[in-house]
Amino acid sequence: MKILVIAIQFLLIIIFFSKPISSSTQVFKIPPGFRGSQMNFIDNNGLFLLSNNSNFAFGFVSNKPQSTDSFDLSIIHQGSSTVVWTANVGRAVGRSDEFVFGKDGNAYVSTGGETVWATNTSNKGGALEMELLNTGNLVVYNSENSGSDPVWQSFGYPTDTLLSNQSFDEGMKLFAECRFSC
């Protein structure tokens, strides 16, 4: 009986003092049906998808110094905290606006009922997953091409940064936005 009491006390101490495991950060991949706002991931600085090597993260990134209400949906290089790609260039969203990876395969973010960015992949054969690769490339795969050629990739839509192994093909444009100060 004394051992049982000690075991229960030990368990309670572990439960009480242990840091809860956060379920708000997704590692590698997210499935269709995923949705969330910056507020859902506030404990992770708005980030909800990591590359396998954790060098890159995707989520809501403040686009003004010390801002708590203006965010871009971006990929950052974690080691330098540098934004390397932005989905909604020049069209900030608030902390309660949601990113959605719909069951139809389309990923989008909207503010005030207006879609400010989308992958437009709802007609691409049923999305299976969204993944942030170790290269910093955000990709959407469908059930026919999982792990091979993505139906959509951020490398196909560069903003103001090119990463290793990212091609810059004829006709592509870079888009820059003044961040913090100009």
Contact call for residues 102 and 74 (beta carbons, < 8 A): no
Q: Which domain holds residue 42?
A: 22-156
Phi-psi category of residue 51: left, alpha or beta, with phi > 0 → left and psi -120 to 50 → alpha:
beta
Question: Is residue 152 situated within a structural domain?
Answer: yes
Question: Is residue 167 situated within a structural domain?
Answer: no
Question: Is residue 177 situated within a structural domain?
Answer: no
Question: Is residue 172 situated within a structural domain?
Answer: no
Question: Is residue 122 situated within a structural domain?
Answer: yes
Question: Is residue 59 situated within a structural domain?
Answer: yes
Q: Say how many domains are in the chain.
A: 1
Question: Is residue 16 situated within a structural domain?
Answer: no
Using a cut of 0.85, tell me whether the model's pTM lies above it. no
Q: Which regions of the chain are under pLDDT 50? A: 5, 7, 10-23, 180-182
CATH number at residue 36: 2.90.10.10
Q: What is the pLDDT of residue 157?
A: 79
Give the tens place of pLDDT for each residue, 66-108: 777 899 999 999 999 999 999 998 899 999 999 999 998 899 9
Q: What is the pLDDT of residue 77?
A: 94
Other residues' Cβ atoms within 10 Å of the Cβ of residue 168:
11
Question: Is residue 126 situated within a structural domain?
Answer: yes
In angstroms, rounded to a whole number, what is the distance separating the alpha carbons of residues 28 and 2? 45
Q: What is the pLDDT of residue 115?
A: 96
